[in-house]
């Protein structure tokens, strides 16, 4: 079996035992990318040559028996919304085509410090605005389980890359579900850390008060391993928390016996596909068998989460995306007048969903509308917070489906933004409340993966990981791999 | 020409002060004047995708110190906001600033500043004090009189600014100027900013309107681009006269932004469209609120230096005239000079006379400030001591002062080298006095007829012959004795 489909925890063991070299491992991914990514299109850019050079350096150091950093020689795919020094960072947008950041995001610097190798930059919905990766300015990514379907989004490239064995793991970003939803639709693990747990420095902003970087991995153990490297205070991000980072590997052990898990009633209502409902209910039952105490909780205001999100996130985005004006970087439409240059550049460079959200957000912040929209949304956000606070007074975790449906067909929702927005109905409340949430594979419906979402208290990723790990260890879902060979043949 | 229709000029100021920090407001880039373009930049002040701001704690401390010194109420939790507008010198197309909005007050509100206008105490209310970042600089490249393209220097982008906004409490252009001098002095005493005007460290926008005889306020205009205190006074005087003329002619003042043209000495309407700007302010999500506790405010208050009003009062209590005290207090560097001299030479009034008289006169004539010249406090004190012990006359001291001020030197050595010691020995003067009396029979006769003034002339003649070296009191006494005797 190819090492490309093994979890990182096993790959690290093989590297350390020197039954596998970093170069051989890298080549396994590069070969699969060569073979499958022409159709999956998870990557926008594969950094093959730089990665090969780095891998060779790690080969030597392993051979010499050096003391090595924790992720020495291990490749990683990175969502193309995260700045990588000297390596093109497009954010899935034509407006940034050709831009090479002069600096590394904090998470990239930490990964390099830990010995990881940048394998490539993955596709996404333009500026992370979308739930299917169809809003990419460079064409959609396909779901490895059924290439007629979307991988979810916005971190669809990262999720598809991991699911298809085109990367051992990947970084995604999550503003309204952009890690968890594609993880769910691609049958892998996706963790959104607490807002402030991971530095946002170098993450190109969409909704600054919601954005978080997190891992997309094959197993929960891998998510813990990657979070360990990513997490922690950063002097370059004022919103990064200066809290101690626990040992997440150690936190995996102990199981769910005696843990109180709240089944949110609102998660099991209308709009849920029957196959998804069945899988999530069975997962809840499995957790009960494992010794968890399942209780029903209610989150009444999450019905308002979607409109709240589309005011807060778009308001912030309208300001965050103002800097793409043709003056300093990326696309410029050359015209003599500067104001004309701004509008023509932005008209040419941004796709329709980005324009829609910029207009929505501009409107929400405009004089006369600020109180009715932006301020009201902030108050609604407080209510969502309180709902979770009340739930966490009773339980240790809240359980929800990750996505109300399995992967939908390419093109199915592109003309219906509201239908598209519903894909994130269960993930968005978690961003509004700034909480940690994980999606783990919990079954299949119509042959497509279903994800279970577990949500924890602020900065309590440890409990989230422990429960997800216990569930994963008791099931086999995460061992299934997509039927890629058949599709490619 | 203020007509009957308008009785009062009403002025409010918005002052941007560059804080005296080593690094920028939200990143570690150095702050320096006239560095080669785009050499003091980083992803943060260039607004690159993904970069995030981090508040400069020093800038926050300086803003807080100013707000406390101005008697402002300090917000227990103050936030930064984004001010959204598109301009090529603004790399993010929003400026991180502080907006006064509902539960989000700026750093300080509702303070005041006392100052004097020609000896009369005045107070102006301060509306608010807040922090923000500066923009870059556009350089328009011209060929054949037409702008062909523009270059942008982002060195200034992100430099820490403090905005001080007054209530419309100022009543004349001269008063506005005096207020700015007082504010500049305060900022220098607080060591909040060196306030180098020529480097644009203090930039002023003004709102001006005329109040009619019936008490109603006319339409205001905003005047920008005044780059010196003199420009502020002249621009506002021009604008007040212009508005009065418009009103006097039965016209209406248009609410607009006008720019001061230093060359033509006029204000003119700015060419940009005057549509109401909607800045879409909202709380900056990349920065957490800044908490300033009461204990911290108290600590800042306790560590404030002596403020101008206190200093003025102390000087008056030491015997200085109010006008001398003012003249020294409004120039912090001169005040520092005075204080240092005072420590060695406690006759405050005598010292102040020299500092505000001869020293200030020389500085004015040369267009220099005390720090720009060679004169040190110890030198002035040395000179005054030579007078006190009778080595030289005041006349000689005054003669020596310009050279000591501009070139420096040791007063005692200079006096010795030039032989300028006072002649205080009667024997050395008697022969000269005989010669003067013989040569001036008429004044001698006049004095003998009781005309005291004639003696002044004779003393002057002796002083002239000794090139100022004779002790004037001794000459006076000797002349009287000789003429009466």
- A363 contact B CB<8A: no
User: Which residues in chain B have Cβ-Cβ distances shorter than 8 Å to A366?
Assistant: 278, 280
Say how many CA atoms lie within 13 Å of A360 toward its Cβ.
Answer: 18
The answer to whether the Cβ–Cβ distance between A323 and B46 falls below 8 Å is: no
Chain A residue closest to B92 (CA)? A323
Which one of B53, B84, B288 has the shortest CB-CB distance to A322? B84
Residue by residue, pLDDT tens for chain A (489 residues) are: 789 999 999 999 999 999 999 999 999 999 999 999 999 999 999 999 999 999 999 999 999 988 999 999 999 999 999 999 999 999 999 999 989 999 999 999 999 999 999 999 999 999 999 999 999 999 999 999 999 999 999 999 999 999 999 999 999 999 999 999 999 999 999 999 999 999 999 999 999 999 999 999 999 999 999 999 999 999 999 999 999 999 999 999 999 999 999 999 998 888 899 999 999 999 999 999 999 999 999 999 988 999 999 999 999 999 999 999 999 999 999 998 899 999 999 999 999 999 999 999 999 999 889 999 999 999 999 999 999 999 999 999 999 999 999 999 999 998 888 888 888 999 999 999 999 999 999 999 999 999 999 999 999 999 999 999 999 999 999 999 999 875 543
User: Which residues in chain A have Cβ-Cβ distances shorter than 8 Å to B288?
Assistant: 238-239
Distance between B10 CA and the closest CA of chain A, angstroms: 28
Look at the alpha carbons of A428, A431, A435, A441 in this order and tell me if their dihedral is positive or negative: positive
Burial code (b: 16+ CB inside 10 Å, e: under 16) for A60-77 equals: ebbeeeeebbebbbbbbb
The answer to whether the Cβ–Cβ distance between A202 and B51 falls below 8 Å is: yes
pLDDT at A228: 98
Distance between A208 CA and the closest CA of chain B, angstroms: 6
- What would the DSSP string read from start to end of B146-176? EEEEEEEE-TTTT-EEEEEEE-S-B-SHHHH
Length of chain B (residues)? 485
Quick check: ipTM above 0.90? yes
What DSSP designation does A373 have? I
Which one of B93, B152, B286 has the shortest CB-CB distance to A239? B286
Chain B residue closest to A105 (CA)? B50
- List, for chain B, all residue ranges whose pLDDT scores fall below the cut of 70: 1-6, 102-103, 271-276, 485
pLDDT at A489: 39
- A242 contact B CB<8A: no
Within a domain: residue A303?
Answer: no
Which residues of A are part of the catalytic machinery? Answer: 79, 154, 178
pTM for the model stands at 0.91
The answer to whether the Cβ–Cβ distance between A83 and B152 falls below 8 Å is: no
Within a domain: residue A187?
Answer: yes
pLDDT at B343: 96
Instruction: Write down the H helix ranges in A350-460.
Output: 352-365, 376-394, 417-421, 428-432
The answer to whether the Cβ–Cβ distance between B94 and A319 falls below 8 Å is: yes
CATH number at residue A240: 3.90.1300.10
pLDDT at B118: 84
Within a domain: residue A165?
Answer: yes
Domains of chain B: 6-296 (no CATH), 307-418 (no CATH), 426-484 (1.10.10.410)
Strand locations in B301-389 (E): none
| Number of structural domains found in chain A | 1
Within a domain: residue A244?
Answer: yes
Within a domain: residue A325?
Answer: no
Distance between A69 CA and the closest CA of chain B, angstroms: 27
Q: Which residues of B touch A (CB under 8 A)?
A: 43, 46-55, 82, 84, 86, 88, 91-94, 150, 152, 278, 280-282, 285-288
Within a domain: residue A305?
Answer: no
The answer to whether A271 touches A404, Cβ cutoff 8 Å, is: yes
C-alpha angle A46-A51-A52 in degrees, rounded to nearest 5: 115
Which residue range(s) make up the domain with A56? 3-266+276-298+386-488
Q: Who's near B331: CB < 8 A, 6+ residues apart?
A: B185, B369, B370
Q: Is the peptide bond before A154 cis (omega within 30 degrees of 0)?
A: yes
Within a domain: residue A124?
Answer: yes
Phi, psi of A49 (to 5 degrees): -70, -45
Distance between A81 CA and the closest CA of chain B, angstroms: 8
Which one of A89, A322, A362 has the shortest CB-CB distance to B94? A322
> Between B332-344 and B377-388, two packed helices, what is the crossing angle to 10 degrees?
40
């Amino acid at each position: 079996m190819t090492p490309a489909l093994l979890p990182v925890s096993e790959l690290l063991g093989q590297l350390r035992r020197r039954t596998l070299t970093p170069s051989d491992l890298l080549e396994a991914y590069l070969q699969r990318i060569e073979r499958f990514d022409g159709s999956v299109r998870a990557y926008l850019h594969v950094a093959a040559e730089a990665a090969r050079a780095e891998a060779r350096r790690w080969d030597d150091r392993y051979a010499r028996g050096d003391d090595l950093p924790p992720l020495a020689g291990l490749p990683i795919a990175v969502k193309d919304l995260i700045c990588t020094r000297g390596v093109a960072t497009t954010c899935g947008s034509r407006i940034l085509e050709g831009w090479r950041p002069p600096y590394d995001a904090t998470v990239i610097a930490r990964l390099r410090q830990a010995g990881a190798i940048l394998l490539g930059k993955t596709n996404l919905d333009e500026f992370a605005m979308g739930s299917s990766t169809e809003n990419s300015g460079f064409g959609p990514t396909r779901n490895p389980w059924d290439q007629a379907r979307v991988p979810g989004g916005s971190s669809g490239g990262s999720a598809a890359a991991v699911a298809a064995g085109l990367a051992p793991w990947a970084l995604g970003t999550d503003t309204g579900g952009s890690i968890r939803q594609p993880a769910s639709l691609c049958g892998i693990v996706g963790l959104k850390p607490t807002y402030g747990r991971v530095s946002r420095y170098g993450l190109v902003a969409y909704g600054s008060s919601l954005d978080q970087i997190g891992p997309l991995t094959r197993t929960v153990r891998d998510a813990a391993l990657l979070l360990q490297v990513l997490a922690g205070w950063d002097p370059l991000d004022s919103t990064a928390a200066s809290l101690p980072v626990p040992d997440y590997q150690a936190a995996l052990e102990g199981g769910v016996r005696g843990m109180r898990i709240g089944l949110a009633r609102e998660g099991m209502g209308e709009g849920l596909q029957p196959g998804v409902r069945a899988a999530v209910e069975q997962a809840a039952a499995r957790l009960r068998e494992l010794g968890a105490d399942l209780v029903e909780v209610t989150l009444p205001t999450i019905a308002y989460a979607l409109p709240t999100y589309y005011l807060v996130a778009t308001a912030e985005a309208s300001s965050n995306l103002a800097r793409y004006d043709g003056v300093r970087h990326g696309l410029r439409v050359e015209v003599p007048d500067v104001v004309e240059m701004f509008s023509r550049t932005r008209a040419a460079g941004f796709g329709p969903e980005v324009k829609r959200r910029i207009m929505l957000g501009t409107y929400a912040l405009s004089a006369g509308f600020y109180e009715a929209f932006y301020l009201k949304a902030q108050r609604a956000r407080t209510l969502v917070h309180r709902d979770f606070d009340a739930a966490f007074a009773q339980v240790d975790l809240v359980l929800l489906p990750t996505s109300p449906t399995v992967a939908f067909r390419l093109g199915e929702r592109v003309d219906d933004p509201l239908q598209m927005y519903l894909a994130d109905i269960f993930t968005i409340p978690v961003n509004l409340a700034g909480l940690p949430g994980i999606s783990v594979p919990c079954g299949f419906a119509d042959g497509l993966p279903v994800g279970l979402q577990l949500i924890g208290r602020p900065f309590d990723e440890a409990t989230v990981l422990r429960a997800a790990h216990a569930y994963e260890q008791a099931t086999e879902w995460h061992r299934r791999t997509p039927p890629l060979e058949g599709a490619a043949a | 020409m203020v007509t009957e229709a308008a009785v009062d000029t009403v002025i409010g100021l918005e002052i941007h002060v560059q804080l005296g920090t080593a690094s920028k407001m939200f990143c570690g880039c150095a702050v320096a004047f006239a560095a080669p373009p785009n050499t003091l930049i980083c992803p943060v002040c260039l607004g690159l995708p993904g970069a995030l701001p981090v508040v400069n704690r020093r800038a926050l401390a300086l803003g807080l110190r100013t707000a406390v010194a101005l008697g402002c109420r300090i917000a227990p939790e103050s936030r930064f906001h984004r001010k959204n507008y598109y301009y090529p010198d603004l790399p993010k197309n929003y400026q991180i600033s502080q907006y006064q909005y509902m539960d989000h007050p700026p750093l300080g509100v509702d303070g005041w500043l006392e100052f004097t206008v020609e000896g009369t105490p005045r107070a102006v209310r301060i509306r608010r004090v807040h922090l923000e970042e500066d923009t870059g600089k556009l350089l328009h490249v011209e060929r054949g009189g037409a702008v062909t393209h523009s270059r942008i220097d982002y060195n200034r982008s992100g430099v820490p600014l403090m905005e001080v906004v007054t209530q419309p409490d100022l009543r004349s252009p001269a008063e506005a100027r005096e207020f700015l001098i007082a504010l500049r002095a305060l900022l220098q005493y607080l060591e909040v900013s060196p306030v180098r005007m020529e480097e644009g460290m203090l930039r002023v926008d003004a709102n001006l309107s005329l109040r009619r005889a019936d008490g109603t306020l006319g339409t205001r205009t905003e005047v920008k681009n005044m780059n010196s205190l003199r420009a502020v006074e002249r621009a506002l005087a021009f604008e007040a006269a212009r508005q009065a003329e418009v009103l006097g002619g039965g016209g209406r003042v248009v609410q607009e932004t006008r720019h001061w043209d230093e060359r033509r000495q006029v204000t003119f309407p700015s060419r940009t469209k005057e549509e109401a700007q909607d800045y879409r302010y909202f709380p900056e999500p990349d920065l957490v609120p800044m908490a300033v506790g009461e204990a911290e405010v108290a600590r800042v208050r306790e560590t404030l230096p002596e403020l101008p009003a206190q200093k003025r009062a102390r000087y008056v209590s030491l015997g200085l005239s109010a006008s001398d005290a003012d003249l020294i207090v409004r120039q912090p560097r001169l005040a520092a000079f005075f204080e240092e001299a005072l420590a060695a030479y406690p006759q405050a009034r005598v010292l102040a006379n020299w500092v505000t008289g001869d020293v200030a006169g020389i500085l004015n004539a040369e267009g220099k400030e005390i720090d720009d010249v060679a004169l040190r406090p110890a030198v002035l004190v040395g000179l005054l001591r030579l007078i006190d012990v009778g080595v030289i006359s005041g006349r000689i001291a005054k003669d020596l002062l310009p050279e000591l001020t501009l070139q420096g030197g040791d007063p005692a050595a200079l006096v010795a080298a030039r032989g300028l010691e006072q002649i205080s020995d009667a024997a050395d003067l008697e022969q000269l006095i005989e010669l003067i009396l013989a040569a001036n029979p008429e004044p001698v006769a006049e004095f003998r007829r009781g005309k005291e003034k004639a003696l002044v002339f004779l003393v002057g003649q002796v002083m002239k012959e000794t090139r100022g070296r004779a002790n004037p009191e001794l000459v006076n006494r000797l002349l009287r004795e000789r003429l009466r005797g």
